[in-house]
Structure 1
Amino acid sequence: MNQTISVLVVDDSAFMRKLIINFLDEDPAITVAGFARNGEDALQKAKKLRPDVITLDVEMPILNGLDALKRIMDEIPTPVVMLSSLTEHGTNQTMEAMENGAVDFVAKPSGTISLDLHKIKDELLQKVHSASRVPVSKLKYKPVEKRKIEIQAEMPASAHRIIHKKASNIQQAKWNLNSPKLICIGTSTGGPRALQEVLSHFPADIKAPILVVQHMPAGFTKSLAARLNQLCDISVKEAEDGEIIKQGVAYIAPGGFHLNARRVGTSLAVHLSEEPPRSGHRPSVDVMLESVSEIPDYDKICVIMTGMGSDGAKGLVKLKENGNSRAIAESQNTCIVFGMPKAAIGTNLVDDVEDLGQIAYSVMKYMP
């Protein structure tokens, strides 16, 4: 019999702790090792109980969730799933938690005390299971030192690379550096930190727009975009329906909407849709890639990074069937979850497999 997943539940509300513990107890593969009332208590319990996963409330007295997370990652690295409210303060703190090593988060449906917490029961259980499989060594990823990427610069000698794994069944057209480019990035679990690493290494004058799908609920993508905009030389914003797409700007799909690109005269514009979720996702990477595959006069650079499932693989096939494109997947070495990149690599259409710290360099070698 497989060993169960031990979980430490941290929340200052006795009512919320009881609900969370009841949900976890219903899963025979999970054992609740204990609970804590605040961040300081959580740190001591984590050291004593050595749980496989910690569920950690963002807003708590004495030591809040964010400060507790930083100390946990320093003193006893453990996979953490944050529980956050949908307030502006809560979403901003959650984005910071993602940067500081949290594996994932669950949004409480109606604030700090959510009487309807049952709505996120299945999501919570699924994310606890996923977090339990994340190696502790990946929780404290060291970002590559930021330095300006020279256009057409050679890749660093230290780069971990599988060079040009050519498509096996679709003819690769010759790459023309001077044709218009469109960069498309898809990611999920572990994505906020991965996006920071990649987007912060793009130069402000990059000669392409960047479309981004990050699996995330409504309310959080705006905070993610604002956070990344502060940290990057390029502009980063939450995409708005109908806006003209410009070079040097990353457009993040809003939670709850698919991100499409459409031709408007000689320009491209954002089109957001509320069509049904694709494989449980809205926004969906597949939908974005299928959309841009219908724009014939742009070459596309597709990047698939850390995340569960296979979103992006079907879209990549469409992309390769229509026009000229190159695909980059994050390597298993650095992925928090190797699902989406693995599925993309499984299509035999990925050109480069890169460690996270080298993905921006790999993109830039295809740029004018």
Structure 2
Amino acid sequence: MSIRVLVVDDSAFIRKIVTDILSEDPYINVLDIARNGREALDKIKLLSPDVVTLDVEMPVMDGLECLKEIMNVKPVPVIMVSSLTTEGANATIKALELGAIDFIAKPRNIFDVGNEKVKKEIIEKIKIAKNSIVRPSSSFVHYTRSEKKKVINSQKLKHIVAIGTSTGGPRALQQVIPPIPGNIPAAFVVVQHMPQGFTKSLAARLDSMSELNVKEAEDGDIITSGYAYIAPGSYHMVFQKESNTGQIVIRLNKNAPEGGHRPSVNVMMSSLADTGQNNIIGVIMTGMGADGCEGLKRLKTDNGAHIIAQDEKSCVVYGMPKAAVQAGIVDKVIALNDISNEIIRKVGV
């Protein structure tokens, strides 16, 4: 059964390269191309593709406007094609909010689009998108800065909440982080599989919606109540416990990817287990594969952590939570919109 794809980009060069890459896979059939959002909408109605690749920046109707229309009129799995700029990253985070399944970052050198690593990523993401669940934006609670005021948190650090997620994660995190009260006696550490640059935009977006202070983690950050630290793309996030103060310090490194990922959820969770901390809550959410499962096993066995998994029904891709559930280490399997309440209940705010 082939996957039928519509390729949307205003650059003839990019359309040709993406079409050629996808056509190399026997299970993918490029139905047609479109040069802008307006043309894309007409062709989606006419052809009913399984997956759409959608450029962010286009004339006539840009990718974000087109995506809104797709989600309103005929929801279909969409993968955004984004430039590696701050503007491109911000627009991509917005697109994931609106319902895009995932994104592909255009390499800085446009001729690198055809390299093997990029080819493999594009084909893999198309296949994941085909089997993912599309959730229109209207099915989510939306948090804005006007509702959320930053609060001064003088609480002693009692809990660490470690969250791992991948495909569908940026949007899922918007349902988990913003409802958390800013005066919680806990800190949050997060691995979201994403390239460099995009994690900074994600952290800024979450920070604008939350009472918690959300930031892209920096080497040397001391884990503090009321903060959420997101591992930067291309870096592993690990922890070092200071023997004299007992404080936990974030360390970033460029060690080899684990299971194809850097940052890796397993690396973060295992390093947290090494600190010997108790009162840890592990959360595993939507995403492909099994990253996080081994690290959560260690947190469960060595630290007595409370493990929460997102349920299948609310996941975009039920891979990472499924692996943890099958390993028998999960204490609670719950819907996405109940995860923040479960964290608050466990922490005892």
Per the TM superposition, whether the score is higher than 0.5 is yes
Distance 1:56 1:188 in 2: 20
Deviation of 1:140 after TM superposition, in Å, equals 4.4
Q: Which residue number corresponds to residue 234 of structure 2?
A: 256
- Cα gap change, 1:236 to 1:92, in 2 (>3 Å): same
Q: What whole-Å deviation, never above 9, does each CA across 1:284-343 have from its counterpart, x for those lacking one?
A: 100111011122243100000000000010001111121221000000011000000000
Distance 1:190 1:228 in 2: 15
* Correspondence for 1:97 among 95, 98, 114: 95
- Cα gap change, 1:78 to 1:145, in 2 (>3 Å): closer
Q: Which residue number corresponds to residue 112 of structure 2?
A: 116
- 1:62 partner amino acid: V
Q: Which residue number corresponds to residue 200 of structure 1?
A: 178
Deviation of 1:225 after TM superposition, in Å, equals 0.5
| Cα-Cα RMSD | 1.6
Distance 1:145 1:107 in 2: 26
- 1:9 partner amino acid: V
Deviation of 1:139 after TM superposition, in Å, equals 4.4
* Correspondence for 1:281 among 258, 261, 281: 261
Distance 2:46 2:137 in 1: 21
SS of corresponding position for 1:9:
strand
Deviation of 1:180 after TM superposition, in Å, equals 2.1
Q: Which residue number corresponds to residue 361 of structure 1?
A: 341
- Structure 1 residue ranges, 4+ long, deviating more than 3 angstroms after superposition: 138-141, 144-148
After the TM superposition, which residues 292-331 of structure 1 pair with which residues of structure 2 at under 5 Å, given as runs? Answer: 292-331=272-311
Distance 2:256 2:5 in 1: 34
* Correspondence for 1:349 among 318, 325, 329: 329
Q: What whole-Å deviation, never above 9, does each CA across 1:36-95 have from its counterpart, x for those lacking one?
A: 000111111111110000000011111111111111111110100000010110000000
Distance 2:80 2:142 in 1: 27
Distance 2:33 2:211 in 1: 42
- 1:143 partner amino acid: F
* Correspondence for 2:140 among 140, 143, 146: 143
Q: Please, what TM-score do these two structures have when normalized by structure 1? A: 0.88
- The answer as to 2:224 corresponding to 1:228 is no
Contact 1:235–1:250, Cα closer than 8 Å, also in 2: yes
- 2:38 partner amino acid: E
SS of corresponding position for 2:314:
coil
Deviation of 1:125 after TM superposition, in Å, equals 0.5
- 2:33 partner amino acid: F
Q: Which residue number corresponds to residue 132 of structure 2?
A: 134
Distance 2:208 2:22 in 1: 37
Deviation of 1:210 after TM superposition, in Å, equals 0.3
Could you say which structure has the higher helix fraction?
2
Distance 2:303 2:168 in 1: 30
Contact 1:6–1:32, Cα closer than 8 Å, also in 2: yes
Q: Which residue number corresponds to residue 151 of structure 2?
A: none
Distance 1:315 1:268 in 2: 18
Q: Which residue number corresponds to residue 165 of structure 2?
A: 187
Contact 1:301–1:363, Cα closer than 8 Å, also in 2: yes
* Correspondence for 2:33 among 35, 41, 44: 35
Contact 1:103–1:139, Cα closer than 8 Å, also in 2: no
Q: Please, what TM-score do these two structures have when normalized by structure 2? A: 0.93
* Correspondence for 2:50 among 49, 52, 68: 52
Distance 1:216 1:325 in 2: 26
What is the total number of aligned residue pairs between the two structures? 334
- Cα gap change, 1:280 to 1:257, in 2 (>3 Å): same
Q: Which residue number corresponds to residue 170 of structure 1?
A: none
Deviation of 1:262 after TM superposition, in Å, equals 1.2
Q: Which residue number corresponds to residue 219 of structure 1?
A: 197
